[in-house]
Amino acid sequence: MSNWTRICDYEAMLPERGVCALVGGEQVAVFRTHDGTLHALGNRDPFSGAYVLSRGIVGTRKGEPTVASPLHKQVFSLVSGRCLDEEAVSVPVYPVRVADGAVEVGA
């Protein structure tokens, strides 16, 4: 992928916390899990329509890293974007990497 957007320094991201960034005109929620892995999802909660997933609660369900919406608490996989409470619902997943110490998200 050649279209990468720099978000922030990797070390500036706190484990188990999300940040929001504008990538290709879309709000993207970027998370760093406790093991240092990065994940990027669409920031829009499909149940409320609010752009809040970056403020969600990071956790796991059956070993899968997740984020729970801060509004209605639906849980989304950080890997697939699928809602684990209503499987017909999902949010977009974006490629994410570390390059020269910076977190970058692909559009």
Q: 4-106: what fold? A: Rieske Iron-sulfur Protein (2.102.10)
Cβ atoms of 94 and 28 within 8 Å: the answer is yes
Distance, CA of 6 to CA of 52 (rounded, Å): 21
Strand partners, 74: none
Q: Report the alpha-carbon distance of residue 104 to residue 107 in Å, rounded.
A: 10
Note the pLDDT of residue 107.
85
pLDDT tens column, 29-81: 999 999 999 999 999 999 999 999 999 999 999 999 999 999 999 999 999 99
Q: What is the pTM of this model?
A: 0.94
Identify whether the C-beta of residue 57 lies closer than 8 Å to the C-beta of residue 67: yes
* Closest alpha carbon to 104 in 36, 14, 2, 16: 2
Output the six-digit token pair for 53.
């997933």
